[in-house]
Amino acid sequence: MGIQISLLAFVVVLLAGWIAGVLPFLKFIFGVILPYVAFAVFIVGLVIRLLRWARSPVPFRITTTCGQEKSLPWIKQNKLDNPSSALGTLGRMALEVLFFRSLFRNTKASLKDDRLVYSVDKWLWFFSLAFHWSFLIIFLRHFRFFTEPIPSFVGFLQSIDGFFQVGLPIIYITDVAILVALTYLFLRRIFDGKVRIVSLASDYFPLLLILGIAVTGVLMRYFLKTDLVAVKEFTISILSFQPIGAELLNKLSPLFMIHFTFVCTLLIYFPMSKLVHLGGIFLSPTRNLANNNRMKRHINPWNPVVPVHTYEEYEEEFRDKMKAAGIPVEKEE
Amino acid sequence: MSTKIKPEELLKDVTYKPRFVNWMDVPVEFRKGTFNYAGSEDALIYLDQPNPRKWQPTDPDWKLPKNWQEIILEGLRERLEKFRSLKIFMDICVRCGACADKCHFFLGSGDPKNMPVLRAELLRSVYRREFTTAGKIMGRMVGARDLTFDVLREWFYYFYQCTQCRRCSVFCPYGIDTAEITFLTRELMNLIGVNIDWIMTPVKNSYRTGNHLGIQPHGMKDSLEMAADDIEEITGIRVEIPINKKGAEILFVTPSADFFGTPHYYTLLGYIMLFHEIGLDYTFSTFASEGGNFGSFVSHDLMKRLNHKIYSEAKRLKVKWILGGECGHMWRVIHQYMDTMNGPADFLEVPKSPITGTVFENAKSTKMVHICEFTADLIYHNKLKLDPSRNDHWHATFHDSCNPSRGMGLLEEPRYIIKNVMRKFTEMPDNTIREQTFCCGSGAGLGTEENFEMRMRGGFPRANAAKYVRDKYGVNICLCICAIDKANLPPLFDFWVPGLEVGGVHEMVGNALVMTGEKPREVDLRLNPLLNEEDKQ
């Protein structure tokens, strides 16, 4: 059911973008009003989400320790997988956020003649990393449409990304990578029984949406040329809060409007979906805390007062037996 | 019951490629051998817990309070505000499935609801319905559902098929910790009196007598006296075993199974011999006679109520610091909860080994040291005379217990000790040890006879790795530092790997320890004859 619903939602967005590309009235709404709404929803939504998380305290310091702890001086601590200092924790987080350290551990279990065997399985790690990094680089490359003059890092990224100098225009590695990676992630949800059973519409939809963004982008760059000067004028006018003339809007192709509508939809969808893992990973207590539990006391702001069974009550119940057994007691009677 | 099922039958229909269904439509079935009996009425009354009554999970009517849904949802709301972890874990899972085949219960049963991601979805689906706009409006379309009696039955079944071992959390790209989700869901169920007896009765016993077996002070003294007799028989040395001794330097707290259980008891002998040999000024306590904390399987409050005894007894006995024995979840509670819950322990001193002078900086706030840290330090400083050949009849492997490995990172200390007290040691495969270790399948309160089949399934990955080293290298004993392991690995291995024994690290220390004035050893702590000189390696 999840796939059908998300496909339907995807097609609706696609059609909306296309209609907006051909109907001038809708073009104004989608081209001028929607981006502000989307951007506002994205920022406000994400901030609300982060504040909602931050509002709840972290009552205990519960880390997942994935290596030797700091103990005796002659035992080598695993400072990144089981950090005890702020620096080590920062390193662990960096590995997690930038290189998906935990996912890198992934293995695949299978049963062979009643024997359980594990094989290395880095595909998920590889394609997830390829997807996320490609997305980031493509986003940064887009700064050539957002600012004038174009920031110098854009040129640098473009030259690296087009390193192989294949095709005309030169094919970007990230363009290929993001399409392949998204396809893998999508097909995996369908063909891996374990993942399919847990997949929801909210798992397929963002994949489709981002795939839609990537495909329309690739089409515009390599196949169906769009008026890039107009696109840049358009984005800059939006970013500088300058009203856009109808003439400029007319120059934007339907394909660009589809691309643009997908992006705005993603921004709106982002804060209310699992995509908030972008922010959540930084707050995940099992990863962002140092394992210095016995060195430094962690405070629970709501530490409750609970009833306890005191030694006195205990001795009261067992005093005679304790005395008979020769165990020292506090009170003789 | 244990004789009825056969290992080969158990795996017959296990597959890691589940058929596609909408899991919400699959009803839960309480099959004999795969669930635990309900918490007893008198335990709940003694502990003043909600809704004490007689009931069983197979009953059609669980005799719940009328507004039970309201109680649980209110409880969930409260916990979302109290635990950032819960809120985040509810929101950020992307269902990538990296955790799916990491759970020993999934690997042993093939039941998709035992995949950690789906286990969490059991709660998350209710969270979505109540606490997210999309879930309120679109319901099942977005994976949201109402909290019904069937959902509660499903919670009971599957959240008591998780041993809070945290293996999945190692592989999760966001560090989502199923143990916390399980713990909090059990806590929610406990609000309406839905819990299991092998947690509630041990909690009651621990609360009343200080230990989960309900051993009264004189019973514990008898057991320790017997230990002294056995040590005398083996070594010719009569040891003193101090109990509730005021002014001792160190309070020693160990899981109470060490006093009575087999093979735990041999580890107890090892501790006592070690303490005697180094002349440690220590004491056992009958009041804090349980390191294990069954409260940590069901409720934060109960955990705190039980854990309270350790610091309060240390204070009463005016000791300087605390030493803890071989136990798994006990150490998670001590390491991650004790100081926060019942500290600060400002009446104690920073632990310092009276023998080596080592200051345990890593325990300077909690003031409690793990026995493996303590012994490793002794060996490193050459304070023990050891004859590892006295363990030559053993070829060991080491099972990392879930909590010391993933909740502390105590990995090298026990290995260092083992390698110094015995000569034959072989590790199990890398994917099954250290932070990737597999649970024994019976932790977190699930080690009951009525749950036998599920335990054997859950313990299968561990047994499978142990079988590998037994068959390939001739390993004949699996050492561990957890009382639940020591109770549950023996039946597990009897089932999957017959002939493989289970022991504690300090049992091997006791065997190898050359004591001042001892008679020539002829037997080990189990009274097995030692190998004669020619047969030794």
Q: Which of A70, A278, A309, A329 to mutate to test the interface with B (most CBs of B within 10 A)?
A: A309
Residue B1 has a pLDDT of 46
What order of strands is seen across the sheet that includes strand B396-399?
A: B396-399, B477-480, B501-504
Identify the segments of chain B with pLDDT beneath 70. Answer: 1-3, 537
Task: Check residue B25 and report its DSSP letter.
Answer: G
Distance CA B407, CA B259 (A): 25
Distance CA B165, CA A219 (A): 49
- At residue B304, what is the residue type? K
Residue B285 half-sphere exposure toward CB, CA atoms < 13 A: 34
- At residue A152, what is the residue type? S
This prediction's pTM = 0.95
Question: B418 to chain A nearest CA, in Å?
Answer: 15
Dihedral, B15, B21, B23, B28 alpha carbons, nearest 10 = -70
CB–CB of B305 and A309 under 8 A? yes
Residue of B nearest to A67 (CA): B409
Please name which of B397, B402, B353, B401 lies closest in space to residue B376, comparing C-alpha atoms.
Answer: B353
- At residue A1, what is the residue type? M
| Region A2-302: CATH code | 1.20.950.20
Following DSSP, what letter does each residue of B247-281 receive, concatenated?
A: T-SEEEE--THHHH-TTHHHHHHHHHHHHHHHT--
CB–CB of A64 and B174 under 8 A? no
Q: How far is CA B346 from the centre of its chain?
A: 28
Residue of A nearest to B215 (CA): A318
Residues in chain B: 537
Q: What residues of chain B, 51 to 80, have a C-beta less than 8 Å from chain A?
A: 80
Distance CA B324, CA B374 (A): 9
Q: Which of B131, B336, B402 to mutate to test the interface with A (most CBs of A within 10 A)?
A: B336
Q: pLDDT means per 10 residues in chain A (333 residues)?
A: 91 94 86 93 96 96 97 96 97 97 96 91 96 97 91 92 85 96 96 95 96 96 89 90 81 93 96 93 96 97 96 96 95 83
Q: What residues of chain B, 220 to 239, have a C-beta less than 8 Å from chain A?
A: 221-222
Task: Check residue B502 and report its DSSP letter.
Answer: E
Specify the pairing of strand B501-504 against strand B477-480: parallel
CB–CB of A102 and B175 under 8 A? yes
Domain range list for chain A: 2-302
Helix, strand, coil % (nearest 5) of chain B? 50, 5, 40
CB–CB of A285 and B171 under 8 A? no
Assign B210 to helix, strand or coil.
coil
Residue A241 has a pLDDT of 86
Maximum distance among all Cα pairs of chain A, rounded to whole angstroms: 102
CB–CB of A322 and B217 under 8 A? yes
Distance CA B169, CA A286 (A): 8
Distance CA B209, CA A311 (A): 10
CB–CB of A81 and B435 under 8 A? yes
What chain B holds in terms of domains, given with CATH numbers, is 9-30+50-194 (1.10.1060), 203-535 (no CATH)
Q: Where are the beta strands (DSSP E) in chain A?
A: 107-112, 115-120
Residue A247 has a pLDDT of 82
CB–CB of A291 and B409 under 8 A? yes
Following DSSP, what letter does each residue of B145-156 receive, concatenated?
A: ----HHHHHHHH
Please name which of B227, B233, B327 lies closest in space to residue B268, comparing C-alpha atoms.
Answer: B227
Residue B3 has a pLDDT of 53
Residue B441 has a pLDDT of 95
